[in-house]
């Protein structure tokens, strides 16, 4: 059997480990794996692909980035605006599927987030077998308890906070760290708790500047002259909208800048010197953590198992320490958001972390 593999959306630590898992499992079955470069765009004429041999993928699971490349722009972009879905034109789908069949590819493994999986679902609707692998550092796919890349991104946030803590203490400053998280605040939440933040601002909990300022001033009154504040890019004050760096382009508008807004406002309210650092794509780069290497490898192997069982239209899913699967349709239907009343938020508040809501 010959199967295809591609990555879609933003890059993410662990993508190479997925490739390692897919190629390793497929090779044991005597199958051939064709890797398509630059995401779905690699399916179009001229086809941009290469045969993936186990001898060439054996040591790549520790590498960041992806040897296949990826794309979150182009003719296969299926997500527009805030949750809108775009139907891929039939002539583009027909060309891609025709090329796959001409190459003898019988099924396609698509590693990506909700946008990539939405496109993959359209391939299923056109009659071409696909299997999905959930990939997003935001950890916001509702049909899986964890996505690979999230743990690595969180560790980057913790490392940044450890470094910011020393300079904050030296100058008695409030240091603001803006992290990724368009709709879901998981990176900010886990990174903030792990990095000892005094306040965590996330999209799921509208915040009040005055409440955050009061928490920081209370810390100062208790003898703590410096503070760390983590802000997800999609967080916004109560009654206000999100802050965008760029609007009006193709696909979803680009968030960015809320960290600077928070720094300015908190400086005014507390009278303390504030500084903002935006991590940006540092969260996507570098080698994956051991957890992400293992999870991504398991995901790749499971994707091959699903093809072997002819269970197409499924997405690999991680639940209760077990790797299983769910339908792609279910996977893209609901985002995995932080529960404002959930155990982890309550635990954070119990150790004195402010979310700006009380």
Report, as residue numbers or ranges, the catalytic residues: 138
CA distances from 343 to 78, 149, 339 (A): 34, 23, 8
What pairs with residue 200 in β-bridges? 230
* Six token digits for residue 94: 């027909």
Strand 84-85 vs strand 79-80: parallel, antiparallel, or unpaired? antiparallel
Please classify residue 256 by burial: count the beta carbons closer than 10 Å to its beta carbon, then call 0-12 exposed, 13-18 middle and 19+ buried. middle
Rounded Cα distance between 131 and 166, Å, is 46
What is the SS3 assignment for 32-93? EEEEECCHHHHHCCCCCEEECCHHHHCCCCCCCCCCCCCCCCCCCCCEECCCEECCCCHHHH
What pairs with residue 255 in β-bridges? 244
CA distances from 135 to 98, 110, 251, 339 (A): 26, 10, 18, 21
Q: Return all residues near 21 (Cβ < 8 A) that are at least 6 apart.
A: 61, 296, 297, 298, 299, 300, 301, 303, 304
Our measurement of the distance from residue 130's CA atom to the centroid of its chain's CA atoms, rounded to an integer in Å, reads 21
Rounded Cα distance between 76 and 88, Å, is 6
Q: What are phi and psi of 308, to 5 degrees?
A: -60, -35
């Amino acid at each position: 059997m010959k199967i295809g593999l591609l990555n879609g959306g933003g890059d993410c630590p662990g993508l190479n480990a997925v490739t390692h898992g897919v190629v390793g499992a497929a090779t044991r079955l005597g199958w051939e794996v064709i890797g398509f470069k630059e995401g779905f765009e690699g399916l179009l004429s001229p086809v941009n692909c290469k045969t993936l041999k186990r001898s060439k993928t054996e040591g790549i699971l520790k590498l960041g980035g992806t040897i296949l490349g990826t794309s979150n722009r182009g003719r296969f972009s299926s997500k527009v605006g805030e949750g809108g879905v775009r139907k891929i034109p039939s002539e583009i789908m027909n060309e891609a599927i025709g090329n796959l069949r001409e190459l003898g590819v019988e099924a396609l493994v698509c590693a990506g987030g909700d946008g990539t999986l939405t496109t993959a679902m359209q391939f299923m609707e056109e009659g071409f077998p696909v299997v999905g692998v959930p990939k997003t550092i935001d950890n916001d796919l509702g049909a899986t308890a964890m996505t690979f890349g999230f743990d690595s991104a969180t560790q980057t946030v913790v490392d940044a906070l450890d470094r910011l803590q020393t300079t904050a203490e030296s100058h008695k400053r409030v240091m603001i760290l803006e992290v990724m998280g368009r709709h879901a605040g998981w990176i900010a939440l886990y990174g903030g708790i792990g990095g000892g933040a005094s306040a965590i601002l996330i999209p799921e909990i509208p915040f009040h500047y005055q409440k955050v300022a009061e928490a920081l001033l209370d810390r100062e009154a208790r003898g703590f002259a410096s503070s760390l504040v983590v802000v997800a890019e999609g967080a916004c004050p109560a009654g206000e909208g999100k802050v965008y760096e760029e609007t009006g382009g193709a696909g979803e508008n680009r968030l960015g800048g809320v960290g600077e807004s928070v720094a300015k406002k908190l400086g005014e309210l507390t009278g303390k010197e504030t500084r903002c650092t935006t991590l940006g794509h540092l969260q996507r780069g570098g080698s994956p953590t051991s957890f992400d290497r293992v999870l991504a490898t398991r995901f790749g192997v499971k994707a091959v198992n699903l093809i072997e069982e002819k269970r197409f239209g499924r997405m690999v899913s991680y639940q209760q320490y077990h790797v299983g699967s769910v339908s792609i349709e279910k996977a893209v239907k609901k985002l995995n958001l932080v529960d404002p009343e959930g155990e982890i938020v309550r635990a954070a508040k119990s150790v004195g972390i402010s979310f700006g809501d009380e």
